[in-house]
Amino acid sequence: MSVLLYGDINKNNFATLLKKYQLEIIDSADNEDIPGSFWGDEEAGLIGNKLYLRDDTPVHSALHEGCHFICMDQQRRSGLHTDAGGGYDEENGVCYLQILLSGYVEEMGRQRMFDDMDEWGYSFRLGSAKKWFEKDADDALQWLQTFNLLNEDKQPNWQVRK
């Protein structure tokens, strides 16, 4: 199975989703290095509030890097270039939020995000993204709610961490 790629989704809808968080998508040319990519190859890049993507960038990568921007504090966000950093709790919050936001990407949805995360190699104690999200992610949910990124109904508040 191959993961869902940015070139296979409605780019305007995706840009509108991320614009709610003041993120701007910059399309990179095929076969050129993606600026700000921590992992290299086709993985998403992040510099300031700009998310760099190519058509072969996995959607899970785009959402993951976008969620790093959303979840980091303003001080780190102001100097953001390539390495989003953050600790264990923030990384879990990023993974949880990317799963939630996948539900707003018509071509993806939550189950496809679970599958793509597993395919790429995200590592969770319970062995899969879905099991983690459903049975072991209370700390990630609490972290997101503490920073007012999700409301009490576990839905996005459409704002970045202050």
* pLDDT of amino acid 124: 82
Q: Which tens digit of pLDDT belongs to each residue from 104-153?
A: 999 999 999 999 999 998 878 788 999 999 999 999 999 999 999 999 99
Domain edges within the chain: 1-152
d(CA 97, CA 114) in angstroms, rounded, equals 12
DSSP 106: T
Q: Which pTM was predicted? A: 0.95
> How many CA atoms within 13 Å lie on the side-chain side of 96?
26
What are residue 37's phi and psi, to 5 degrees? -85, 120
